[in-house]
Amino acid sequence: MPPKLTVIVDGTPMPDEEARLFWGRFSEHMEKNKGDLAGFAKAEGFASVRPAMGPQGAQLVVSRTAKQEPYGNARSNPGSAAVHPKHPNAGPNPRKHKR
């Protein structure tokens, strides 16, 4: 089964079909407006949106009140060792090479 694309709005998951359509609009907007998270959030009636990695795959974290953060690499929701290598539960960092 492919990873699930989810949308979390102020901590509440968006219904699957609505999330799929939201992701479609997000992808289309970002293709036309590279890095314009704030513009997409505003067009959708939200204060902010950011990509993240959730337990089931990619997700968009959307808020009606949180300030928009600059565009960056998708990060996990708090507590995920996979994207936060300095997390206490994370394994060794594969980017560090011992010489």
Mean pLDDT to the nearest integer, 38-64 = 95
Q: How far is CA 91 from CA 21, 28, 50, 57, 86, in A?
A: 36, 36, 25, 19, 9
Going by pLDDT thresholds of 50, 70 and 90, the confidence category of residue 84 is very low
Segment holding 37, helix H or strand E: helix 37-43
**pLDDT value, residue 37:** 96
Residue 98 has pLDDT above 60, yes or no: no
Which range is most confident: 3-7, 11-15, 93-97? 11-15
Identify which has the larger pLDDT, 78 or 60: 60
**pTM exceeding 0.85:** no
